[in-house]
Chains A and B, each alone.
Chain A
Amino acid sequence: MNWIFAFIQTLLFIVLAPLLVGWVKWWKCRLQNRKAPSLLQPYRDLLKLTHKQPVVSHTASWLFIATPYIVFSAMILAASVVPLISIDLPTAASADVIVLVGFFAIARFFQALAGMDVGTAFGGMGASREMTVSTLAEPAMLMAIFTLTMAASSTNLASAIGYVLDQGMVLRPSFVFALFAMILVAIAETGRIPVDNPATHLELTMIHEAMILEYSGRHLALIEWASAIKLMLYGVLISNIFFPWGIAVDFAPSALGTALLWLLLKLAVLAVFLAITETALAKMRLFRVQEFLSFAYLLGLLGLLSHIILEASR
Chain B
Amino acid sequence: MELIKLDFYTQGVLSIAALIGLTSFLMLGQGRLLRLIFVFALQGLLLVLATALAGYSMENSHLYISAAITLVLKVFLIPWMLQKQVYKLNLHRDVETLKNSTAVMLGGATLVVFSYYVLHPVIQNSSVVLVNALAVGLSLVLLGMLLMISRHHAIAHVVGFMSIENGLFFAAIVSTRGMPMVVELGIAFDVLVAAILFGIFFLHISSSIDSLDVDQMNRLNEVDQ
Q: Which residues of A contact B (CB under 8 A)?
A: 167, 170-174, 176-177, 291, 294-295, 298-299, 301-302, 305-306, 308-311, 313-314
Which residues of B, 105-137, contact A by the 8 Å Cβ criterion? 105, 109, 112-113, 116, 123-124, 132-133, 135-136
In the complex, B182 has a CB within 8 A of chain A: no
Q: Are B109 and A314 in contact (CB under 8 A)?
A: no
Q: A302-B22, A313-B1 are in contact. Are A171 and B8 (CB under 8 A)?
A: yes
A173, A294, A309, A313: most-surrounded residue (chain B CB, <10 A): A309
How many Å from the CB of A135 to the closest CB on chain B? 14
- Per the bound structure, the CA–CA distance linking A305 and B114 in Å amounts to 11
In the complex, B21 has a CB within 8 A of chain A: yes
Closest B residue to A304 by CB, please name it. Answer: B109
Q: Which residues of B contact A (CB under 8 A)?
A: 1-4, 8, 11-12, 14-15, 17-19, 21-22, 25, 29, 101-102, 105, 109, 112-113, 116, 123-124, 132-133, 135-136
How many Å from the CB of B170 to the closest CB on chain A? 13
Q: A305-B116, A309-B136, A310-B133 are in contact. Are A176 and B15 (CB under 8 A)?
A: yes
Q: Which of B14, B29, B113 contacts A173 (CB 8 A)?
A: B14
Q: Are B25 and A171 in contact (CB under 8 A)?
A: no
Q: Are B15 and A173 in contact (CB under 8 A)?
A: yes
Q: Which of A171, A295, A306 contacts B12 (CB 8 A)?
A: A171
Q: Are B3 and A170 in contact (CB under 8 A)?
A: yes
- Per the bound structure, the CA–CA distance linking A149 and B105 in Å amounts to 24
Q: Which of A170, A173, A174 contacts B4 (CB 8 A)?
A: A170
Q: Are B109 and A301 in contact (CB under 8 A)?
A: yes
Q: Which of B4, B19, B25 contacts A176 (CB 8 A)?
A: B19
Q: A294-B102, A294-B105, A298-B105 are in contact. Are A306 and B3 (CB under 8 A)?
A: no
Q: A171-B12, A310-B132 are in contact. Are A302 and B123 (CB under 8 A)?
A: no
Q: Are A311 and B3 in contact (CB under 8 A)?
A: yes
Closest B residue to A172 by CB, please name it. Answer: B3
Q: Which residues of B contact A295 (CB under 8 A)?
A: 29
Q: Which residues of B contact A177 (CB under 8 A)?
A: 18, 22
Q: A170-B3, A301-B109 are in contact. Are A314 and B14 (CB under 8 A)?
A: no
How many Å from the CB of B15 to the closest CB on chain A? 4
- Per the bound structure, the CA–CA distance linking A143 and B19 in Å amounts to 18
Q: Are A176 and B2 in contact (CB under 8 A)?
A: no
Q: Which of A171, A301, A305 contacts B15 (CB 8 A)?
A: A171
A sample of 11 inter-chain contacts (CB < 8 A) reads A167-B4, A171-B15, A173-B17, A177-B22, A294-B105, A299-B22, A305-B109, A305-B113, A310-B136, A311-B3, A313-B2
- Per the bound structure, the CA–CA distance linking A304 and B4 in Å amounts to 17
Q: Which residues of A contact B1 (CB under 8 A)?
A: 313-314
Q: Which residues of A contact B8 (CB under 8 A)?
A: 171
Q: Are A176 and B116 in contact (CB under 8 A)?
A: no
Given A171-B14, A310-B3, 5 other A-B contacts at CB below 8 A?
A170-B3, A173-B17, A305-B112, A309-B136, A310-B132
Closest B residue to A290 by CB, please name it. Answer: B102
- Per the bound structure, the CA–CA distance linking A305 and B133 in Å amounts to 12
- Per the bound structure, the CA–CA distance linking A223 and B14 in Å amounts to 44
- Per the bound structure, the CA–CA distance linking A177 and B109 in Å amounts to 14
Q: Which of B17, B25, B29, B113 contacts A310 (CB 8 A)?
A: B17
Q: Which of B4, B18, B123 contacts A306 (CB 8 A)?
A: B18
Q: Are B18 and A310 in contact (CB under 8 A)?
A: yes
- Per the bound structure, the CA–CA distance linking A177 and B26 in Å amounts to 13
How many Å from the CB of B58 to the closest CB on chain A? 17
Closest A residue to B113 by CB, please name it. Answer: A305
Q: Are A308 and B116 in contact (CB under 8 A)?
A: yes
Across the A-B interface, the 10 shortest Cβ-Cβ residue pairs: A173-B18, A171-B11, A306-B18, A173-B15, A311-B3, A310-B14, A171-B15, A309-B135, A309-B116, A310-B132
Q: Are B11 and A306 in contact (CB under 8 A)?
A: no
Q: Which residues of A contact B112 (CB under 8 A)?
A: 302, 305, 309
Q: Which residues of B contact A294 (CB under 8 A)?
A: 102, 105
Closest B residue to A306 by CB, please name it. Answer: B18
Q: Are A176 and B109 in contact (CB under 8 A)?
A: no
- Per the bound structure, the CA–CA distance linking A98 and B102 in Å amounts to 26
Q: Are B123 and A314 in contact (CB under 8 A)?
A: yes
Closest A residue to B116 by CB, please name it. Answer: A309
- Per the bound structure, the CA–CA distance linking A171 and B105 in Å amounts to 26
Q: A171-B14, A309-B116, A309-B136 are in contact. Are A314 and B124 (CB under 8 A)?
A: yes
Q: Which residues of A contact B133 (CB under 8 A)?
A: 309-310
Q: Are B105 and A176 in contact (CB under 8 A)?
A: no
How many Å from the CB of B200 to the closest CB on chain A? 36
How many Å from the CB of A293 to the closest CB on chain B? 11
